[in-house]
Amino acid sequence: MTRVLFVGDTHGQTAHVDHLLRVAVREGCPWVFVVGDFGYWEHQHDGRLFLDKVDRRARQHGVRCAFLDGNHDNVVLLRRTYQDRDDDGLIVVRDHVRYAPRGHRWTWGSSRLLAAGGAASLDKDRRLAAEQQKTDRAARRALAHRNAGAPRDYAGTLWFPDEELTDDETDRIIAAGGRVDLLLTHDKPRDSAPSFNRKTAEAAYPNQDRIQRIVDALGPARLIHGHLHHRYTQTLPNGTVVDGLTCDPAAGHGEPGYRVEDSWLVVEL
């Protein structure tokens, strides 16, 4: 039997992750697993510091931290930078930090787990506009200081083009078949209906449909996800129990009745 602390979006908030590591110690969990929007922003200095601090604090607590990718994690850079895997097949990002890529399966305790990260950013246009504004400012500064070198292009720093689970990835996951006890995703399956849902725009549905296809094909006993910043539990018609987790306090201000303890869930596997 393995106890795991599953966690909703942490968004690079070091203090919140440290709190979760301490919860894991208290609950006897050797692993903390973040279901997306972990805060993988290694293209920025603060993002590298976040990873180093989480690694150091996880080592001090005697806990390991793993995550799958959310729409606000730089999965393009993540895939390009790290390939080495541990005994569970998880990708090694730091000594005590691991990444579960899309479609990865592994066993903890007596349970078979499957990771299927990714989701759509409904604020994509705002993020792209902010990238362009930063690029334009850099160009103006370079023009004013002609010896400053080529201006920086900020494309791909706030919105990441590989953010969604693809149809091909979904097809491969389904074709692999096999037993899945616990499906870990960032996005919700289309058929779940939480009472508070921030992701109801048309742009959100294709990725939710891909998650639903996996649920329908593989029939996992349980699914845990983040992304909505809302805690709920629902049983789908096929019997899959869906647990949505809320997020770190800094991002939870929009959720009615937010409680930090709703951002994590202990599961015995």
Contact 5, 266 (CB under 8 A): yes
Contact 37, 73 (CB under 8 A): yes
Name the nearest CA neighbour of 73 among 57, 89, 96, 97. 97
Q: How far is the C-alpha of 18 from the C-alpha of 29, rounded, in Å?
A: 14
pLDDT at 195: 81
| Neighbouring-strand partners of residue 224 | 184, 243
> Angle formed by the axes of helices 205-218 and 167-176, to 10°?
10
pLDDT at 241: 99
Strand (E) or helix (H) holding 268: strand 264-268
What is the number of helices (H) and of strands (E) in the chain? 6, 12
Q: How far is the C-alpha of 124 from the C-alpha of 130, rounded, in Å?
A: 10
Q: How far is the C-alpha of 66 from the C-alpha of 87, rounded, in Å?
A: 14
Strand (E) or helix (H) holding 124: helix 124-144
pLDDT at 219: 98
Name the nearest CA neighbour of 252 among 7, 2, 4, 6. 7
pLDDT at 254: 76
Q: Which amino acid is at 14?
A: T
Q: How far is the C-alpha of 113 from the C-alpha of 31, rounded, in Å?
A: 14
Contact 64, 98 (CB under 8 A): yes
pLDDT in tens, the chain (269 residues): 899 999 999 999 999 999 999 999 999 999 999 999 999 999 999 999 999 999 999 999 999 999 999 999 999 999 999 999 999 999 999 999 999 999 999 999 999 999 999 999 998 889 988 878 887 787 787 777 766 667 787 888 999 999 999 999 999 999 999 999 999 999 999 999 988 777 778 899 999 999 999 999 999 999 999 999 999 999 999 999 999 999 999 998 778 889 999 999 999 99
Which tokens go with 231?
């805690």
Name the nearest CA neighbour of 227 among 175, 185, 176. 185
pLDDT at 199: 72
Which tokens go with 97?
């930090």
> Helix/strand/coil (H, E, C) string of 218-231?
HCCCEEEECCCCCC
Q: How far is the C-alpha of 111 from the C-alpha of 85, rounded, in Å?
A: 20
pTM for the full predicted model: 0.95
pLDDT at 138: 75
